[in-house]
Structures are given as C-alpha cells and as structure tokens.
Amino acid sequence: MSTIIDRRSSGTRSTSNQERLQRRVRARLKKAVEKIARSGSIEDLANADQPISIPTRDLHEPSFRRDLSDSSWERVLPGNKEYQRGDEIPKPEGGASGQGREGSPDGLGEDEVAIVLSADEFLDLLFDGLALPNLRKTSQGDVQAEQWRRAGFIKDGSPSRMHVGRTMRAARARRLALRAGKRRELQELEEARSILQQEISARMARKQDISLEQERLRDLDAQIAILTRKIKAIPFIDEADLRFAHIDQQPHPITNAVMFCVMDVSGSMGEKEKDLAKRFFLLLYLFLHRHYQAVNIIFIKHHSTATECTEQAFFGAREGGGTLVSPAIQLTENIIKQRFPAERWNVYVAQVSDGDNYFADNAVVADHLDQLLPRLRNLFYLEVNRENESDLLQLYEGIAENHPELITARASAREDIYPLFRALFSREELPQHG
Amino acid sequence: MADYLFTDNDWTFPRLDAVTRAIAAIAEEELQLDTYPNQLEVISAEQMLDAYASIGLPVYYAHWSFGKQRAIESGQYRRGEMGLAYELVINSDPCISYLMEENTMTMQTLVIAHAAFGHNAFFKNNAFFRQWTDAEGIIDYLAFAQRYIAQCEERFGMDAVTDVLDAAHAISRNGIDRARRPRQLSAREEEQRWQERERYLEQQVLEIWRTLPPVLGQKTQQIDVFPSEPQENLLYFIEKNAPHLEGWKREILRIVRKITQYLYPQGQTKIMNEGFACFVHYHIMHSLHGKGLLTDGTLLEFYASHTAVVMQPDFDDRRYSGINPYALGFAIFQDIKRICVAPTEEDRRWFPFAGDPGWLKQIHFAMREFRDESFVLQYLSPKVMRDLHLFSLRNEADEASYKVSAIHDDTGYQHLREALAQQIADSSRPPDIQVVSVDRWGDRHLRLKQMDQQPLDLEEAQKTLGFLHHLWGYDVHLDIEDQTLTAPQSLSAD
C-alpha cells in the first residue's frame, strides 16, 4: 500500500525558527545594520537585502563532549597503499592538536552563519526604539474611524458575498476526496470483471460449465452498478462547499501627522553636503514609511526660492543659486495654513542646510519662525559640514531658548548622521513638549 | 516481457505509482521485505532544507538552533558546496519518504527502492528500532510537542522557553536510556497525563525533599545517599528531581528526552541502515532491469549515482571525511550474500554460515539482530577489509609519530575489526557522565561524576554545567579524574 502526495505547494515552514534565530542574535544584527546605516552607500540603505554574517561562536551549543586534541586514540582508515604493520608516520607540523578537530562529532568548521534580512526586518532593526516625539494621538483632530477591512473567508454569509473561486475550490477538493477511494475500488472491480469474462469465454470454448462464473459476474456487475451510482451521487456542489468573503469593521486610529522635509539645494551645498542631507532625509523617509503609514510627507527644496516637489525630484535634486531660507519657511507656513491646520495635525518640520543664508534674510526668518513654531510639534534643524556655527544656527539656537520645540544639530561626516538621527527620534532623550 | 516502465526521464505521478507497484512486488516476492505502508511525498529543495534543519522530522517545535542549522546549510547549498540528499525517510507508520522534485525518473525509482522499501523494512524489523521507538505514535507526539511548546511560549514568554530548550539540548545527549526500553508513547495519553498533572501541580510533593518527620518507632537513619545508584540519564533525573522546576519546564525536558530517545537508534545503526537500503535498491534495480521494466540507459544512470553514493575515498584523498557508512554497509551486506552463494576457503574459516543456500535468511538475520558496533564485529570480513584497504593508526599523545597498528593481512584482520567496532561505538556515545549524589539536607548541590576515562573538553563541560545549574537551581559539581568542575552561577558566562 503506497500513497503519493504532492507536498510542493505547502511551502516552507522555517519562518518560526528563523524568527527565533534573529531574536537570538538581535544585538549583533543591530550592530551590523547600524554599520550599514553609518557608512554604507545610500543604495545599500534603500535596498537592504545583503546577508549579514554572524559568527557561529555566538550561536554555540555546548554539550559534554570528548577532547580529541590531546589524547591517545586508534583509528581505522581506508585506502592503505604502502603501509605495513609497525610503520611509523611522523605527525604533521604544528603538533598533535591540529589533528583532533576532524573527528569532532558535530562537524564544526563553518565559522559564520549568513542571515538574510528582509527589507522590513532590516528597517525594524534600524529604527528599533525610535518614535516621532510629541505625537498626540487623542487631540481633537484624531478620529477613531471605523474602516471596512477584508477578513478572510467564512462558511456562512449573505449570497451577494459568496466567493465563487473559493467555493469551487472547496467543492473540487471534496469531490476528489470522496471519489478517489471509490474510483480505485471501481477500477479493481472492472479489472476483476474483465479477467472473469476472459475466463468465461475460455471455459465456453472448452464447453465447461459456467454457471458459477456467471453468478460471480452478476455479483460483480451489481457491485459495479452500486459504486457507479455512488460516484454519480456525489454532488457537484454542496452546501458545505460554500465560502463567503468576510469583511469586518475595524477601528482605525488616525494619527494625523505631516512631516515637512526642507532641503537647501543652493550652490553652496556641495556634493558632500547634499549627500549628508539626503542621508538624513532618506532615514527620515524610511522611518516614517515603516512606522507611520498615515504620515504625510511634504518635500520642499529651496535656494533663493522655494518649491514643493515630488519625492523623486527631492532626492534627485541638483540645483544651484543663492540662498534664502525665509521663502522655504513661508512656503511651509502657507501649506500648513491651507492643508494642515495645526489643531488637527501633528506638524513636524525637518530642515537641512549648510547655514549659508543671505544675512539680511535672518531677521525675516526669525519673524516667521515666531509665527510658525507654536503650531509645530517639532522643528529639527540640521546643519551640515561647517567648521563653525553659522549665523543661522546661532539665530535658531537663540530662538530655541524660548521655543523648546526647535531642536538643532550639526553633522560634518557620514558617520554622524545615523547616531544623530537616533538621538533626535529616540523616545527618551528628547525634552518633553509641554 | 512487460513494457518499459518509462523511457524518457521526466517523472509523473502515474509513473511514480506504477514504479512503486513494480518495486513493491519485487520487494515482497524476491526479498520478502516486511514494510510499513508507504507515504511518498514530493517536495522542493527549499522544503528539503527545512527537513534537514529539523533532523528530517516532518513536525518539530521551533527553536533558534534549527534556524541556525538551516542558515548554514542553505548557505552551503547556494554556494554549491553541498548537494542535497535525493531523499529523506522518517521512521513512522505509515513510513514517510520525501522525494525531491528535481530528481529524474531514474532517481525517483532508485529513491523509492532505497528509502520506501530498504529503510522502511529496516525501521520495521531491526531489533533496535523495534525496542526503542514507536513508529506509530511519533508523528502525533511531535505534533503534541510542537503545540505544547508553542503554548508555553505564549504563556511564559519566548525567552523563558528558549532557556529551557537550550539547557535541555545541551544535556540531551546524556538523556538517553541505554539499558531499558522506554514506555510506548501515545500522544493522547501524553496530553491527558499532562493536563492531569497541571491540575495536581500544587499538591506536588517531591520525594527527595520530603521533610515530614519520620514515623515514630520506625528505625530511621540509614546512610542517606540519593540517588541510591548513579543515574546515567541526566535529563530524566533533572526532570523528576529538580527541586524548584515548574511543571511546564519538566514537560519540555520530557519532550526533548522523548524525541532524543526516538532518534537514538538512528545514530546506532547508520552503517547498517544505509548499507541495507543500498543492498535493497541494488537488488531491486537489477531485478527491474532483468524483467525488462527498465531500459539500459536507466540502468547506466543508476550505476552512476549508485557508485557515487557507495564510493569510499581513500584517507589521503581530499574528499575523505571518515568512513562512508553507505560504502561500508553496502560492502558488508553484499559480502554476506557472496559468502552464502560463493564462499571461499577463508570464508568458511571465518563464518559458520558460509555456503548457506538461504542467503536471504542470513541477510534478514543480520538486518534484524544487530547494530553498527556488533554488526561490524560480526560480519566485517577479510575480503571487505582487503577491498577497502583498511589499516589502523595508533596515536600516543607524547610520541612524535603515528604507528600503523594493523593492516589488511592475516595478522591484522581481527585487530582491524575490533578497532573499527570500538571506533564506531565511541563516536556514537557521549562521555559517560552520571549523577552520583544530591546533598539533600545541606545546600542541595548536585554532584556528577565522569565514569569513563576519555578526556573531556573542559571548556564545553563548564558551559554545559551552567545549563544544568540553570535547571537544577543549586550548585552543580562534576568530578573528573583529578579535578572538580563547578557550574558558573549565571548563564551569561557564554
């Protein structure tokens, strides 16, 4: 008796083990991920799919075992060519200790395990423990909306929601399952019948009595008839096969938040400055996307004028010209007024610049910030690649004394960006907003 | 003459079915194999890697070490350093064999003969398997174990469960009953038993910690040694006697112990099991060809894979990685047949059954009644030793060179045979470490002792003791010849 089963479609079942493995080496994975975030190229960050190597000694499983390195042993080997009893073979250089390892029962020797992280796992590790500061979930604007969501299939529902594909699949499975055994039986009976018939004709040719055989034939025919009827009686579709698409109302908390990414793309921003700025924004972008599905992101680039642009235009920006910061602040202000009223939105601004501002503009900026800041949860200002603090940064720091929601930072090298990012968004380290 | 079962090399389900029937007929009539019903499952390479990670078991609880195993193996596989086995077979009733979808039809035929009939018959008939495993209950039990451990993770947290499993795995090799047969396991009973125990957990009294005053008038004070005899099964001892272990942890230890025990015969019969399966497929493939069911081309393809499987690289070959159990087992089984059918003068001197016309009876006897160690000791013939050019090498720690202690000649055969059997025994046996005493009235420390003379890897032992300490809850000491190791106080040492 043999059964053959096609198991190929049932997929792999290693995920739970994989999950536990990653949990186990989380600290090390995190370090590796952070290293990529610090010094890898921007492409590495955006499509993280490379395997991360973990030394197996981190995953060692000890047990009582023999020490084979330094003892006497006798071993039987195949393939003798010239040895005679009593021959002596000098031990290899490096002493006896090198020899023992090969006999170790667990086949050590591979010293690294490669773990491939999916993009999501990568980002989870990268942004572990980070959150948007001061996010208010229950302010007036937040609605606890009900949303219809698909929720699998059920056996019972309104006719209009019947899922034909699933139903037919269930019906087919049932028909196959119920038929298979009977078909096999039927086949056997029919084979028996044809053998019997041959025998009958043989006996008839020999003119022997065939009454017994004919009785058996009738018997078989009756059995075949019953089986055929049974097979026919299996319904094409049965009530048990019906499947209905299920939808369910689920509460859906809305945390209205919008992040303004304001980047200086003026001529003074060289390749290096832009790289730093883009790194910061990319991290921000990935972070928001991964953790806050409902966060709006507005991209604004500015030199002497400011424009709202798409994500592609923002990250691909190559422009030049003089620098004015105030237009960007103004544009932000306008967009907030028009689209994101502060009482209904958590508004954040992240601004990156090299701080080169036309000196007369600083006063204008200060004015606008006074207007703008009370409406923001936070404004992150990051100054890149400066020997000394710019006038703009000093201005911002002055304002920050009265407005704790303004947070400033400076970065001069690639490696600074990620730690800085962590510092800005880690849950504890920020001053709590009143 | 019948028609060929297949002429081109793509496998299809009807072909698999036809081939299985043809093989079953030969297995039954010509080899008189008694097998469990077969369940053949076609799987993909990814699934094969999964199966590898869980020692071939179709259902297994989740643990990071299996994930690690898979990561290592899939890495090797992807780099092309490792080929996957063509098949995997599970000692269960029905006997489950995995067939890889990449196999050609010839390979599938070979695999079915090898696994679904060779291994299958071995599982069902070998005394060792009959005595130690319960093929019928295993799949249900594994499913129970998986469920139970998943529940524990939910109730007590993944980290707590992982700690227990880590510790249990560390001593699992010392968690096997070697002397007596364990009770049969039935999943339903197990589950019932566990539930009952949950209920009575609160009332649990541990015999060894009993502090009720002795009944008056009864003579008390005999010398207080617990356990009364040294215990070799560390897992069992801890499970039953650890002072403060929660019920669910004991159950997890039990699960690991049961599964280790189930797997125990496989490690003890590797040479025989593979050898017998090769012997069976070799006979069946030839018989199929002889009956005109296989083409010459198929037979040639079969030879190519067969010789690759039973090839024994020489010790100085780069491919050498120890004695190939397929090669040795196959050679010995083939040789048993030869000794019956065409014995030489030498064979008659060595083997009382030489010239026995019933070679099949001898094969069956060999397959049923032995395990690797005794099998080699009984059946390794001078001819096989000559064919494999076996020789033995002796190493003394303080000498500058190895010494050839025996070669395949008249003076060496006996020694070689014994040395090889000893080597097989040693490699399949962990260091003999036993529980000798528990300080019941003092600080409750547990004392272990190494009972054999083989040097122990001290660093490993120290770490393993850490796990034991974790389970036991009090100090754990291990006496080795001239020193005593003490368990580190916390697991973080590693």
**B177 assigned to some structural domain:** no
| Tokens of residue A24, six digits | 């186990």
**Do B38 and B105 fall within a single domain?**
yes
Q: Are A5 and B41 in contact (CB under 8 A)?
A: yes
| Chain B contact set for A14 (CB, 8 A) | 49-50, 53, 66-67, 70
pLDDT score, position B164: 93
Whether residue B19 has pLDDT greater than 70? yes
Which of B 353-392 lie inside 8 A of A, CB atoms?
Answer: 388-392
A8 touching chain B per CB within 8 A = yes
Distance between CA atoms of residues A265 and A274, nearest Å: 8
- Alpha-carbon distance of A104 to A31, in angstroms, equals 32
Contact B71 A66 (CB under 8 A): no
Put simply, the chain A residues between 93 and 112 with a CB less than 8 A from any chain B CB are: 96, 99, 102-103, 105, 110
| pLDDT of amino acid A47 | 65
- Between B437 and A387, name the one with better pLDDT: B437
pLDDT for the residue numbered B441: 78
Instruction: Examine the domain organization and report whether A227 and A259 are in the same domain.
Output: no
B80-130 pLDDT per residue, tens: 766 667 778 989 989 999 998 888 999 999 999 999 999 999 999 999 898
Confirm or reject contact between B402 and chain A (CB < 8 A).
yes
Is B156 domain-assigned?
A: no
Tokens 């092309």 sit at which residue? Answer: B80
What residues 65-84 of chain A have any CB closer than 8 A to a CB of chain B?
A: 65-67, 70-81, 83-84
**Do the Cβ atoms of A8 and B171 come within 8 Å?**
no
Clarify whether residues A372 and A322 are in a common domain.
yes
What's the distance, Cα to Cα, between the start and end of chain A in Å?
76
pTM tops 0.95, yes or no: no
Q: Does residue B95 belong to any structural domain of this protein? A: yes
How many domains does chain A divide into? 3
Q: Are residues A266 and A352 in the same domain?
A: yes
- What's the pLDDT score for residue B494? 38
Residues B56 and B116 in one domain: yes
Nearest to B457 among A12, A65, A77 (CB): A65
Residues present in chain B in total = 494
Domain membership of residue A76 (yes or no) is: no
Higher pLDDT pick, A5 / B36 = B36
Instruction: Tell me which chain A residues have a C-beta less than 8 angstroms from the C-beta of B170.
Output: 61-63
Q: How far is Cα A5 from Cα A13, in angstroms, rounded to an integer?
A: 17
Do residues A299 and A359 share a domain? yes
- Identify whether residues A233 and A371 lie together within a single domain: no
The rounded percent of chain B whose pLDDT value lies above 70 is: 90
Q: Quick check: is A7 in a domain?
A: no
Q: Is the pLDDT of residue B362 over 70?
A: yes
| Chain B residue with minimum CA distance to A109 | B72
Helices of type H across B270-412? 270-290, 296-309, 325-341, 345-350, 359-369, 372-379, 382-388
- At residue A415, the pLDDT reads 83
A275 and A402 together in one domain: yes
Q: What is the pLDDT of residue A145?
A: 57
The reply to whether B284 and B323 lie within a common domain is no
Q: Given CB atoms, is B76 within the 8 Å cutoff of chain A? A: yes
Domain boundary residue among B409, B427, B445? B427
Closest Cα in chain A to B468: A63
What pLDDT is recorded for position B211? 63
Range in A43-52, B29-38, B128-137 the model is least confident about: A43-52
- A74 to chain B: nearest residue by CA? B394
- pLDDT below 50 — which residues of chain A? 95-110, 138-143, 428-434
Pairwise CA distance, residues A397 & A404, whole Å: 10
**Maximum average pLDDT range among A302-316, A408-422, B32-46, B427-441:** B32-46
Nearest CB to A79 within list B170, B314, B427: B314
Per-residue confidence (pLDDT) for residue B212, from 0 to 100: 60
* B417 and B342 housed in the same domain: yes
Phi and psi at A129, nearest 5°, equal 80, 10
pLDDT of residue A99: 40
Last residue of a domain, which of A244, A278, A295? A244
Q: What is the ipTM of this complex?
A: 0.80
Q: Are residue A312 and residue A384 in the same domain, yes or no?
A: yes
- Residues B304 and B315 placed together within one structural domain of the fold: no
User: What is the rounded average pLDDT for all residues in chain B?
Assistant: 86
Beta carbons of B403 and A87 less than 8 Å apart:
yes
Q: Do B348 and B404 belong together in one domain?
A: yes
| Interval B124-143 mean pLDDT | 88
Whether B320 and B404 share a structural domain: yes
Question: For residue A369, is it within any domain?
Answer: yes
- Which among B408, B427, B446 is the end of a domain? B427
> Is B78 in CB contact (< 8 Å) with chain A?
no
CB contact under 8 A, B44 and A77: no
A183 touches chain B (CB under 8 A): no
Asked whether residue B144 is domain-assigned, the answer is no
Task: Residue A121: give the domain boundaries.
Answer: 17-58+111-126
A89: in domain:
no
Question: What DSSP string describes B61-99?
Answer: ---HHHHHHHHHHHHHHHHTS-PPPSEEEE-SSSEEEEE
Which of A23, A76, A77, A85 best probes binding to B when mutated, by most B CB atoms within 10 angstroms? A76
Contacts of A61 in chain B (CB under 8 A): 65, 166, 169-170
Say yes or no for a CB contact (<8 Å) between A17 and B166.
no
Interval B269-302: pLDDT, tens:
999 999 999 999 999 999 999 999 999 999 999 9
Please name the residue of chain A whose CA is at the shortest distance from the CA of residue B429.
A65
Pair (A51, A192) in one structural domain: no
Phi, psi (deg, nearest 5) at residue A140: -50, -40
Establish if A118 belongs to a structural domain: yes
Q: Cβ B65–A61 below 8 Å, yes or no? A: yes
Q: What is the pLDDT of residues B155-178, one digit of tens each?
A: 999 989 999 999 999 999 888 887
Q: With respect to residue B382, please indicate whether it lies within any of the assigned structural domains.
A: yes
Write the CATH number for A322: 3.40.50.410
Inter-chain touch A3–B397, beta carbons under 8 Å? no
Using a CB–CB cutoff of 8 Å, tell me whether B36 touches chain A.
Answer: no
Residues A258 and A402 in one domain: yes
Residue B415 lies in a domain: yes
Whether A142 maps to a domain, the answer reads no
* One domain for residues B317 and B405: yes
Beta carbons of B392 and B405 less than 8 angstroms apart: yes
Residue B43 lies in a domain: yes
How far does the CA of residue A247 sit from the closest CA of chain B (Å)? 28
Q: Give the minimum alpha-carbon distance from A126 to chain B in angstroms, rounded to a whole number.
A: 22
Q: Do A62 and B460 touch (CB under 8 A)?
A: yes
| Least CB–CB distance from A65: residue in B64, B391, B460 | B460
DSSP class of residue A271 equals H
Cβ pair A105:B427 closer than 8 A: yes
CB < 8 Å to B320, chain A: 79
Classify residue A154: in a domain, yes or no: no
Residues of A in contact with B70 (CB under 8 A): 14, 17-18
The residues, ordered by sequence, that sit 6+ positions from A241 with a Cβ below 8 Å of its Cβ are A167, A168, A170, A171, A174
Pairwise CB contact (< 8 Å): B431 & A114: no
Closest-CA distance, B215 to chain A, in angstroms, reads 42
Q: Which residues pair with A171 in a beta bridge?
A: none
Eight-class DSSP state of B143: H
| B20 & B107 share domain | yes
Q: What is the pLDDT of residue A132?
A: 76
CB contact under 8 Å between B389 and A3, yes or no, is: no
Q: Is A2 on the interface with B (CB under 8 A)?
A: yes
Please count the structural domains in chain B.
Answer: 3
Range of the domain at B357: 310-427
Q: Are residues A299 and A353 in the same domain?
A: yes
Beta bridge mates, A88 = B403
Chain B residues lying within 8 Å of A52, measured CB to CB? none
Decide if A62 and B38 are in contact by the 8 Å CB cutoff.
no
**Residue contact A79–B317, C-beta within 8 A:** yes
Residues B412 and B452 in one domain: no
For residue A6, give the chain B residue with the closest CA. B42
Task: Tell whether B469 lies on the interface with A, counting CB pairs under 8 A.
Answer: no
Contact B172, B260 (CB under 8 A): yes
Q: Establish, for the pair of chains A and B, how many residue pairs have beta carbons separated by less than 8 Å.
A: 246
Alpha carbons B385 and B371: distance in angstroms, whole number: 19
Boundary residue ending a domain (A191, A219, A244): A244
Between B390 and A356, the more confident residue is B390
Residues A286 and A378 occupy one common structural domain: yes
User: Which among B158, B172, B385, B404 is the top mutation candidate for probing chain A, defined by the most A β-carbons within 10 Å of its own β-carbon?
Assistant: B404
Contact of B431 with chain A, judged by CB distance below 8 Å, is answered with: yes
B116 CB within 8 Å of a chain A CB = yes
Indicate whether A179 and A319 sit together in one domain: no
* Residue B206 forms contact with A (CB below 8 Å): no
A11 in a domain, yes or no? no
Instruction: Name the burial class of residue B50, with classes exposed (0-12), middle (13-18) and buried (19+) by CB atoms within 10 angstroms of its CB.
Output: buried
In a domain, B359, yes or no: yes
Instruction: Answer whether A84's CB lies under 8 Å from B407's CB.
Output: yes
* pLDDT at residue B223, as a whole number: 54
